[in-house]
A and B are shown apart, each in its own frame.
Chain A
């Protein structure tokens, strides 16, 4: 999957974006199989960046192209194919259904492709220390626990690009490490691109490309 940004400026940031930004109002190409970190302080549009690429936000000038087609022209049915088979995401606000259990939240994603067996799902959940939460509604988990569920949910589907919007913001160092390795492993297996937004400069050296918002 080839993603290109051509002079993109979000309308709410039109007058306030960072003039030194290497992303806003610039031409950016997300190359297959690369690891990209997008860094910015709070309020400079990290979630806007992810949501715009993911087709949720359309309030920007310029163009975002996925395989040469503008995200504004992609139909709702085409988005459902892209989102279920090619482009995965971990939202900053996680978007888990609170009254569904951990396994039901995972099933809701996995039933689109049946890409991962229940055993594999259980194994992933166990790796992030949530084995005993399998049948617990997500709404009563801590935010850190929910973040781990959201990361695993994003890894259940096949993907060419994975967008991660501050995925480790509420995780301790150990869990951040475990989750990052899981993402890396899956991405390498799929030769997929990782696009990660973050507030800090941690581990910037492991990324191929560094964008500043």
Chain B
């Protein structure tokens, strides 16, 4: 082996190799960091509202004229069609609201009696910011699933706290038994309901659409009006969407707009890092490939002599390949050490600014790195083999 090493590598110019090595190091490192945080953000999206899809609940802006019923506050069929047909609107759905009398009752033996009239909205599961729940209802089901606004729970707990009463956690709220009472003249019907999640987007108690339909058909008193719409815009059209709302006197929660801006920018940034990493890796792979070709070309005489002396192609290819394999292995080890160090550093900053990813890292980038290494080494081996065979 020592002899082979002297034969092939003792007189080679290492500058290009160092450049290729450094580029590969930077490419691999950026890839690990970029892919790790893209996956972390996607996982984070599943648990947090910050990076959920671009869903907005939109209504007309209410002026003082609206208070005296001088201003239109609902969306008729033409209005809906106009909004739906905008090119930047990805999803559109009118929000169905109860047009029947309904009250909400605390029906738990362990809780004090409470009963109040309530306003509910039916929503399609596609627009929910609560995932992995059974969001269906029909008359054969005893329990109606409901989702309540997070703000509602916060408000309740602030009130409980001020009255020196124990606060209600999200988990506890899910175990409490509630009841809906629907009524029209002498007709009455009760349904048990249970909290299955909390929403940050909607400001009303949410139920499956089928429950609203059932209530409207059986207990409805007037023609239903659409006063709110659920919209989502295509990712790259946040600016156009915002402008459209302003021009048409429509409004949504301003925090939602800010969040949408932040999430767009964050994802763009990390996607850019991943794209950059791929470009760097591609470039370093090209440099490596060229270096291996140059090395082999510069050692043409040695390789040819070895073949003519009776050395096997396999031996020569293995010698050259092992050199690159060891080199890439060393680069990988350096990348992993640097990556772990940077991860601790970056994570401490993320935690400081409120991004607690729970897991320090995702394993996806390692699979990707292993795949890229495999492709790179395979390409180098093929290149060496094809060139060496020509020399016979």
Q: Which residues of A contact B (CB under 8 A)?
A: 54, 56, 76-77, 79-85, 89, 91, 95-97, 99-100, 104, 107-109, 111-112, 153, 157
Contact = CB atoms under 8 A, between A and B. Distances in A.
Interface stretch (B140-148, B310-318, B321-329): B310-318
Interface string B301-316: 1101111111111000
Contacts of A100: 3, 6-7
Interface in B164-187: none
25 contacts: A76-B392, A79-B310, A80-B307, A80-B310, A80-B311, A80-B312, A82-B310, A83-B309, A83-B310, A84-B310, A84-B311, A91-B308, A95-B304, A95-B305, A95-B308, A96-B305, A97-B7, A97-B301, A97-B305, A99-B6, A99-B10, A108-B306, A112-B311, A153-B309, A157-B310
9 smallest CB-CB distances across A and B, nearest first, come from A84-B310, A83-B310, A80-B312, A95-B305, A80-B310, A112-B310, A109-B309, A76-B392, A76-B313
A108 B310 CA distance: 10
Task: Please report whether the interface of chain B is mostly helix, strand, loop or mixed according to DSSP.
Answer: helix
Contacts of B304: 95
Contact of A54 (B302, B308, B313, B389): B308
Nearest to A154: B309
B310 A104 contact: no
Given A97-B302, A99-B11, A80 B313 contact: yes
Given A97-B7, A99-B10, A84 B313 contact: no
Contacts of B310: 79-85, 109, 112, 157
A37 B309 CA distance: 23
Contact of B7 (A79, A85, A108): A108
A99 B307 CA distance: 18
A54 B392 CA distance: 11
B384 to A, nearest CB: 14
Interface string B1-41: 00100110011000000000000000000000000000000
Range class of the B interface residue count: 10 to 19
A84 B309 contact: yes
Interface of B: 3, 6-7, 10-11, 301-302, 304-313, 389, 392
Contacts of A112: 309-311
Contacts of B6: 99-100, 104
Contacts of A79: 307, 310, 392
A151 B319 CA distance: 27
A83 B308 contact: yes
Most buried by A among B6, B308, B311, B392: B308
A100 B309 CA distance: 15
Contact of B313 (A77, A91, A109): A77
Contact of B389 (A76, A83, A99, A107): A76
Nearest to A96: B305
Contacts of A109: 309-310
Contacts of A157: 310
A210 B178 CA distance: 114
Contact of A77 (B302, B306, B309, B312): B312
A104 B10 CA distance: 14
A107 B312 CA distance: 16
A111 B306 CA distance: 11
B66 to A, nearest CB: 88
Contacts of B312: 77, 80
A96 B7 CA distance: 11
A19 B116 CA distance: 120
A23 to B, nearest CB: 22
A144 to B, nearest CB: 20
A83 B302 CA distance: 16
A149 B131 CA distance: 80
B187 to A, nearest CB: 92
Contacts of B7: 97, 100, 108
Contacts of A83: 308-310
Nearest to A99: B11
